[in-house]
Amino acid sequence: MEILNASLVDWSRAQFALTAAYHWLFVPLTLGLGIIMSVMETLYVRTGKEEWKRAAKFWMTLFGVNFAIGVATGLILEFEFGTNWSNYSWFVGDIFGAPLAIEGVLAFFMEATFISIMFFGWKRVSKKFHLTSTWLTVLGATISSLWILVANAWMQYPAGSAFNAATARAEMTDFWSVLFSPVAMNKFFHTVISAWVLGSIFVIGVSSWFLLRKRQTDFALKSIKIAAIFGLGSSILLLTTGHGSAYHVAQRQPMKLAVMEGLYDGQKKADLLAIGILKSGKTYNDGSDPFVFKIPVPIPGLLSWMGHDDCDAFVPGIRDIIEGGYTQNDGTEALSFVEKQSRGKQSIRALADYRTATEEDAKKEAETRLLKDYAYFGYGYVEKAEDMIPNVPLVFYSFHIMVILGGYFIVLFIVVLAYRKKFENIRWLQRVALWSIPLAYIAGQAGWVVAEVGRQPWAIQDVLPVNAAVSDISAGSVQLTFFIFLALFTTLLVAEIRIMTRQIKKGPEAETV
């Protein structure tokens, strides 16, 4: 039975990860390319130069292909909530209802309305109205992502809510705390800005392809200039939101930070690793060095600074978080896993007492006990300390791949800008730019792996682990739909790549849409 359950949780997680990963192939290009084509159209309206209109229309066509193929792929995640994650779905229903409804009604309809003016309205509406529609399409897509990311951030940091024992769900107590939680805001900006970087890399890469073919040189160089400036600015902003992410993770999900760095034993003045190779077979309390080799970034205490804004701060390792006993930022002593597990079990027991109580006073008393230890409610479902540790190699390597690629993109943007006057003749750099397109996607996917695998075993941080969130269904049905999705999404991806490649080959001279 345990194997079946483990398999059910694993397959449900795999299916959700597959859907989210494919969905995230489409979304960032919509957000990133959207800004770049809007800037180009703005230049057209301001200067009246037809070349900017041609450029804007070309990138808009690729935006359209990506938008059409990707649209509604995120809705499948909502199907999965209702079928595979019904306990979770009920538990968060009151919190997610508002953001997802706003996303559906306001943002989606905003996109849907203005995108048609953007594509059909070139000769039908004024230049300024068309430009406004283009910007509003991109704004709609961005606002759409805001609500999804707010929902995701709430799972990492469940602010603005309280548990109601009678309804067995977390209920929203403060909408603004949910929307403007520091985790949600940082997540929104970090994610959207990473999409801007991807859009920039895409434009530079595709433009480089034209240069390699010695076609559309003027168009390509102009596109590269816009994208490189926008990309460099976005990358620098991404550094600041990246620091914000590390800070919030350190404050609210210390296990995730420890796993991101392969840090088993906590340190003061902890260094950030540049690269490292993990040993296999490491257990959290064997005291051995977890690395075959490692190279730290040569800035002492960088990890401490990232997590705590203090180069001398103590960063707890995996072992510290499980064994407790260290002083937390708020001055309190961290509880051990065993203590948290015990409190979680007490809280769940109180829920059971609440359920069986018939007298109002007994219900109230049980509810008081439940809420007293509610902060540890989810620990009552975790069997052993090892289950608290996410997949260390996957999170560690994903984090470092993301960071290394982020650094690489900054260098690429700088080099492209520095050599922009000679760029037309530097073929190796054009090839590097072209082959950087998949790297931008890898960086984005790696970022989501860190965020989502790094918070395991939690569906909702500290409150609901995945084994309690999952539905009572057969693993077989989830396996079947996993492969259906794999086929469906792969077909869509192949279609997108084929149509997009065809459009790129036609070039900006073709009348498109």
CA distance 148 to 140: 13
**E-assigned strands of 240-344?**
267-268, 273-278, 291-296, 314-315
Check binding of 381 to another protein (CB under 8 A). yes
CB of 380 to another protein, least distance (A): 5
* 513 sits near another protein (criterion: CB under 8 A): yes
Task: Give the chain's end-to-end CA distance (angstroms, integer).
Answer: 54
Q: How far apart are CA 107 and CA 154, in angstroms?
A: 20
The closest alpha carbon to 244, from 184, 197, 196, 299, belongs to: 184
Using the rule CB under 8 A, is 7 a contact of another protein?
no
Residue among 351, 388, 392, 403 that touches another protein (CB under 8 A): 351
How far apart CA 374 and CA 300 sit, in angstroms, is 38
Q: What is the DSSP letter of 510?
A: S
d(CA 22, CA 497): 13
Query: In the complex with another protein, which residue's Cβ is closer, 360 or 472?
Result: 472
Q: Which is nearer to another protein, 165 or 228 (CB)?
A: 165
Separation CA 159–CA 417 (nearest Å):
43
* List 26, 44, 52, 91, residue binding another protein (CB under 8 A): 91
CB 480 to another protein: min, Å? 7
Q: Which is nearer to another protein, 200 or 471 (CB)?
A: 471
The single-letter DSSP state of residue 327 is B
DSSP 335: P
Site for another protein in 134-173 (CB under 8 A): 165-169
Query: For the window 306-345, what string marks contact with another protein as x by the rule CB under 8 A?
Result: ---------------------------------------x
Distance of closest approach, residue 90 Cβ to another protein, in angstroms:
5
Binding-residue pattern over the window 451 to 480 for another protein, x denoting contact by CB under 8 A: ----------------xx--xxx---x--x
Contact 251, 329 (CB under 8 A): yes
Nearer to another protein, 292 or 352 (CB): 352
Which residues, 6+ apart, have CB-to-CB distance to 1 below 8 Å?
Answer: none
* Core vs surface per residue 291-319: b (16+ CB within 10 A) or e: beebebeeeebbbbbbbbeebebbbbbbb
Task: Pick from 6, 48, 82, 372 the residue near another protein by CB under 8 A.
Answer: 82
Per CB under 8 A, contacts with another protein among 42-81 are 61, 64-65, 68-69, 71-72, 75-76, 79-80
CB of 437 to another protein, least distance (A): 20
Give the nearest distance from C-beta 404 to another protein in angstroms: 35
Q: How many residues bind another protein (CB under 8 A)?
A: 53
What minimum distance in Å lies between the beta carbon of 345 and another protein? 7
Regarding 503 and contact with another protein (CB under 8 A), the answer is yes
Q: Which of 42, 83, 391, 479 binds another protein (CB under 8 A)?
A: 83
Q: Which two tokens stand for residue 371?
A: 């809420």
Beta bridge partners of 506: none
Strands 169-172 and 161-164: antiparallel
- Name the token pair of 209: 């392809």
239 counts as binding another protein under rule CB under 8 A: no
In the three-class reduction of DSSP (H, G, I as helix; E, B as strand; rest coil), residue 52 is classed as helix
The nearer residue to another protein, 413 or 489, going by C-beta atoms, is 489
Q: Which is nearer to another protein, 69 or 451 (CB)?
A: 69
501 binds another protein (CB under 8 A): no
Cβ contacts of 423 within 8 Å, gap of 6 or more: 211, 221, 224, 416, 429, 430
Name the region of 471 (left: φ>0; alpha: ψ -120 to 50; beta: rest): beta
Among 4, 47, 112, 120, binds another protein (CB under 8 A): 120
Does 89 participate in binding another protein (rule CB under 8 A)? yes
Contact map string, positions 277 to 296, toward another protein, x by CB under 8 A: --------------------
Beta bridge partners of 294: 276
Looking at beta carbons only, is 347 or 398 nearer to another protein?
347
If one asks whether residue 364 binds another protein (CB under 8 A), the answer comes out as: no
Nearest to 168 by CA among 367, 306, 456: 367
Choose among 320, 315, 317, 351: nearest CA to 335.
Answer: 320
| Complex with another protein: residue 183 or 385, whichever CB lies closer | 385
As measured in angstroms, the least distance from the Cβ of 438 to another protein is: 23
3-state secondary structure 97-131: HHHHHHHHHHHHHHHHHHHHHHHHCCCCCCHHHHH
Q: Dihedral (C-alpha) 173, 176, 178, 182: value to the nearest 10 degrees?
A: -140
Q: Which two tokens stand for residue 12?
A: 């449900």
**Which residues lie near another protein (CB under 8 A)?**
61, 64-65, 68-69, 71-72, 75-76, 79-80, 82-83, 86-87, 89-91, 116, 119-121, 124, 165-169, 345, 348, 351-352, 355, 380-381, 467-468, 471-473, 477, 480-481, 484, 488, 492, 495, 499, 502-503, 511-513
